[in-house]
Amino acid sequence: MPVLVITGTGTEIGKTVTTAAVAAAALAAGRSVAVLKAAQTGVGPDERGDADEVGRLAGPVTTDELARFTEPLAPGTAARRAGMAPVRPHEVAERAAKLATEHDLVLVEGAGGLLVRFDAAGGTLADAARLLGAPVLVVAQAGLGTLNVTELTARELRRRGLEPAGVVIGSWPATPDLATRCNVADLPEVAAAPLLGALPAGAGALPPAEFRTAAPTWLSPRLHGTWDAEAFRVREAP
């Protein structure tokens, strides 16, 4: 099934912009793409959500959103406080599977980290990925502190019988410090998964046309790009 689940190691690390880059690279390779946001929080009924932002940056993708909750909280908490039905993992899996019958690639973007709860039963994005049998791309921070949360995320995926597809650095600074540069080599080691890309800081602020042209240069061939992990490591590592 042509589904890729995209999770972060936390919030505000570039997960949505990474999803847009993966979508743009796939579109440039001639694939039809759908983007499913499992649960959108912190956005009002008439505001643009993450799936809309992916579409703005990436181009002609099908966008879908299972549920939207106004408060910027974990989906399960936001649903409870709003008195609304929560999103459940089987609903995410069913919607993604339906989209997969109509598109070459379906990108399922989570909310925050892997184990953020969707419902009172403790359902998570990891459960949806397991139901789909889909690989999971981990979007990680570049700097100090990222190794621990990236390794924990990768270990939890494997504990659940899921294999990390790889790691993408969601925001690579223009002037990386020592810890950030060392992480180029350390991230794939702690995750036991390949480094599949690095997005430059501020990529989401680029005009859409520039974003779509540049996106393949930020991602490895596994994600329909031209980015060379080894060349990046040699250039950036201390």
| Domain total of the chain | 1
The overall pTM is greater than 0.85:
yes
Q: Are residues 20 and 58 in contact, defined by beta-carbon separation less than 8 angstroms?
A: yes
- Which of 55, 11, 50, 18 is CA-nearest to residue 172? 18
Q: Are residues 61 and 16 in contact, defined by beta-carbon separation less than 8 angstroms?
A: no
Active site residues: 37
Specify burial of residue 86 (Cβ count, 10 A radius: 0-12, 13-18, 19+). buried
CATH number at residue 226: 3.40.50.300
State the residue range of the domain holding 151.
3-236
Q: What is the pLDDT along the chain (238 residues), one digit of tens a residue?
A: 599 999 999 999 999 999 999 999 999 999 999 999 999 999 998 899 999 999 999 999 999 999 999 999 999 999 999 999 999 999 999 999 999 999 999 999 999 899 999 999 999 999 999 999 999 999 999 999 999 999 999 999 999 999 899 999 999 999 999 999 999 999 999 999 999 999 999 999 999 999 999 999 999 999 999 999 999 999 998 8
Helices (H) and strands (E) in the chain, counts: 9, 9
